[in-house]
Amino acid sequence: MDNVTYIANIEHPVQLGVMIAIYFFYTGLSAGAFVLSSLGTVFGIKKYKSIAKAGVVMAVALLAIAPLHLIGDLEQPQRFYTLFFRLNPRSAISYGTFLLTLYPLNSVIYLWFMMRRDFAQGAQSLTGFRQKLYQFLTFGRMDLSGQAISKDDKWIKRLGTLGVPLALLVHGYTGFILANIQARALWHTGLMPLIFLMSAMVSGTGLLILVLIITQRFLSPEKVLTAERQSLIFDIAQLMKWFIVVDGTLMFIDFIVLYYTNAAGHAAAELFLYGSHKTMFLGVEIGLGLLVPFILTLLSRTKESLPWISLGSLLTLIGVIAMRINFVIGGQQLPLSTDRLNPYSADPKHLLMIGLFALTEVIILYLAFRFLPVYGLPKNPPTSQKQFMSAQNAVVK
């Protein structure tokens, strides 16, 4: 027996790192922006129709960058395509591969139908680069008759209706991925998909508010935040307040159950409430990310102030990033067989990629809002263009 070696305290390294956490963040932003855009086109709330294009542009731009985090996290990123022909019916990741393909395709077609009328008008009334761009983007469909526009509206309704469940599934499946891992006490709960979805609505609303403020001020044809636009932003902020309430309630319920469940669940709750993760969880995620924005959207002095609403929106983004890191990385740091936390340090290469991807996202959003008719065509075209627009409006009527 003297030659027997006992192996104990086996470490389980953190497999899902910061790249995966940020990927979850991007998909949540996209889902939240798309659902908000559908309030006007799918659910028929007229006051939100003016932000529909902006929400879909954001959803598409965010989904263009989000999968790059997954590919960059792979040790052999050139083999990502194998997921398309190796379907595992019992794997949430396998379904996610197809959702990540169908959702952006549906969103792009949906956005095209929303902008087709502007493309057709701009192709004939504008000059220079935009005219050529819009002429190309019409794909030969220049018809501006009432029948053609009515047909566009029907497709907008259909694709928007399909896009809402796709958006929810794209982000909801990330919660299913974590919830199905029984060994991780923090993840293994039926509330996980709902928590991810509601935090997505919080962050998606926060980003939409910031993008609307900036783009309407600097990239819209009027380059001004009118009283009507400000009122709509304040209204969206009130939606964000109630998303915060639901998100916070789900988090509260989750940790109550976690604290009074088995030993592993109690240890997970202790780590976030009293242990080394309490600052990131209670301070950043809950305090800065939920409580402060809730107060700013509640008090009469701040809920109708653009600077305060902008600050609250920015804090929701910081809080949801913290939430993704807390749950994804923190959930894996809880030991399965040792008496200490599993160590984790972000790979500098991954941090560099996250920064480059974020910069690329900003550039894509700028170009989209700069050159696409998100807020319509220029309001004061030359005289010849005014005559053309009047003629086209007469045809439409």
Selected residue with higher pLDDT from 353 and 190: 353
Alpha-carbon distance of 143 to 270, in angstroms, equals 63
Scan for tokens 């990741």, then name that residue.
93
For 128, phi and psi rounded to 5 degrees? 75, -145
Q: What is the pLDDT of residues 132-163, one digit of tens each?
A: 999 999 999 999 999 999 999 999 999 999 99
Residue 367's CB: how many other CB atoms inside 10 A?
Answer: 11
- The one-character DSSP state at 261 is S
Residue 62's CB: how many other CB atoms inside 10 A?
Answer: 26
Name the residue type at position 344: Y
Q: Is the pLDDT of residue 234 over 50?
A: yes
What pLDDT, on a 0 to 100 scale, did the predictor assign at position 52?
94
Query: CA gyration radius for the chain?
Result: 24
Q: Is the pLDDT of residue 179 over 80?
A: yes
What pLDDT, on a 0 to 100 scale, did the predictor assign at position 384?
44
254 alpha-carbon distance from chain centroid? 23
Selected residue with higher pLDDT from 380 and 332: 332
Alpha-carbon distance of 390 to 396, in angstroms, equals 10
- The one-character DSSP state at 343 is P
Residue 120 tokens read as: 């057709």
The H-or-E segment that residue 241 falls in is helix 227-259
Residue 335's CB: how many other CB atoms inside 10 A?
Answer: 16
Q: Is the pLDDT of residue 6 over 80?
A: no
CB distance 373 to 115 below 8 Å: yes
Close Cβ partners of 286 (under 8 Å, ≥ 6 residues apart):
248, 251, 319
Residue 49 tokens read as: 């129709």
Selection from 278, 290, 209 nearest residue 246 by Cα: 290
What pLDDT, on a 0 to 100 scale, did the predictor assign at position 10?
59
CATH architecture of 15-180+348-397: Up-down Bundle (1.20)
> pLDDT band for position 4 (50/70/90)?
low
Q: Is the pLDDT of residue 395 over 50?
A: no
What pLDDT, on a 0 to 100 scale, did the predictor assign at position 1?
46
Q: What is the pLDDT of residues 323-379, one digit of tens each?
A: 999 999 888 888 776 667 788 888 899 999 999 999 999 999 999 999 999 998 876
Q: Which of 17-26, 239-248, 379-388 has the lowest mean pLDDT?
A: 379-388
To the nearest whole number, what is the mean pLDDT of the chain?
87
Q: Which of 10-14, 22-26, 185-189, 236-240 has the lowest mean pLDDT?
A: 10-14
Long-range pairs for 138-143 at CB < 8 Å and ≥24 separation?
A: 141/116
Torsion-angle region of 11 (φ positive above 0: left; ψ -120 to 50: alpha; else: beta): beta
Q: Model's pTM, two decimal places?
A: 0.88
Q: Which of 170-184, 266-280, 309-323, 347-361 has the lowest mean pLDDT?
A: 170-184
Close Cβ partners of 293 (under 8 Å, ≥ 6 residues apart):
206, 240, 241, 244, 312, 313, 315, 316, 319
